[in-house]
Structure 1
Amino acid sequence: MDELINNYKSARSVFIQAVDHFPVEKRTEALFGSWSLKDILAHITAWEKASVQKVNDIVVGKEPVWIDNVEKFNEQTAKEKSPVLGLSRLPAFLQF
């Protein structure tokens, strides 16, 4: 488990560094279809938060709530686009 956590932290760190090097003025421009880096980060962040919540539920012996409609979840998170333009500025919601 420690190895998995360390691998996750390492990958997340590399990802954050890549995002932080992306020019700020281009973070709201469309990159993939109509999705900007900001949109992609909001999407990834929503899934990461959902995953962390499930892990936390399991750790405390609680049955996690599973997302039963992925498309609906994606649509909802797209509507709630976070204004955050860099993951390093997100609150630390993953505590190990």
Structure 2
Amino acid sequence: MEELYLKEKEFQKYLKDNHYTLIAPVNPNLFEPFIKTINKIAPSNVFSTIDDSLSNKDAVKVAIQNFPPQTEYQIYVIISGRGMMLHATLEEYCERYKIKFE
């Protein structure tokens, strides 16, 4: 996991405005339960949004610890704005925005 955390940190400089990274399960069936877990863990108030929760790296790390140890993870990029949210894998994001990142 440390390697994935480092890769995520290194990628921050390539992100466009209102885009952020999220380490989440590779298995699409686990994606929604994982998001719900983060939402429960992340600090919130009346003005909190889903973006506030998902961009909270500490909440993500705690959620990862709550999932089975054999769960595989990858880095996603969340593209948020105007009431909608999309996600792409890091590779898809790099391809879409012509980013060279190893």
Q: TM-score, normalised by structure 2?
A: 0.28
Which of structures 1 and 2 has the bigger CA Rg? 1
Higher percent of residues as helix? 1
Higher percent of residues as strand? 2
Q: TM-score, normalised by structure 1?
A: 0.29
